[in-house]
Amino acid sequence: MKTIQKTLVTLGPIGSLPAPGTMATLVTLPLAVGLSLLNIHWFLQLGFATIIAVGAYFLIKSVYNFYYQPDPAEIVLDEVAGTLFIFIGLPITWYGIIIGFFLFRLLDISKLFGLTYLERLPGATGIMADDLVAAGLTNLILRLIVPLACIVVQT
């Protein structure tokens, strides 16, 4: 197998850990939050996340045939790409980070809202699609929940 590509799509040892998708999300969370905290315009955040997602797609595609299952747990670069989309254009609060993390993992693991159908798409497309849509849904839900949480926390 192509060693460099395999190392990238599995984030080295992270793909071999228990709950590798969750571990990859945790590792990526500081970068995703950091981009938002830097007050980089949301459009630039979106551009950066999109570049990472496109790169992830091609890297996953390059090693996909070496795995013998439709969405190998060892491949975690899809979670990395998804995590980068969670907080785009959102104000960063500690409760928003916690809610965003758990909501993204809930959607990715449970495949709510028809995400199962996206995962069934062939190859790298299926691996990436469910995570990216889960991240987009997380972002939309956070847009509704975070303002409410601000009201609750302040009262």
Asked whether residue 148 carries a pLDDT value surpassing 90, the answer given is no
Q: Give 112's pLDDT tier (boundaries 50, 70, 90).
A: confident
Q: Quick check: 129 pLDDT over 60? A: yes
Identify the pLDDT of residue 138: 94
**Above pLDDT 70, what percent of the chain?**
92
Query: How many folded domains does the chain comprise?
Result: 1
> Mean pLDDT across the stretch 118-126?
85
State the pLDDT confidence band at 155, using cuts at 50, 70 and 90. very low
Query: Tens digits of per-residue pLDDT, 69-109?
Result: 777 889 999 999 999 999 998 888 888 899 999 999 999 88
Domain of 59, in residue numbers? 3-154
Residue tagged 């992270």 (tokens): 14
Q: Which residues contact 74 (CB under 8 A, 6 or more apart)?
A: 9, 10, 15, 16, 20, 67
Residue in 111, 134, 135 with CA at minimum distance from that of residue 49: 135
Nearest to residue 131, comparing CAs of 74, 88, 71? 71
CB 117 within 8 A of CB 68: no
Mean pLDDT over each residue of the chain, to the nearest integer: 88
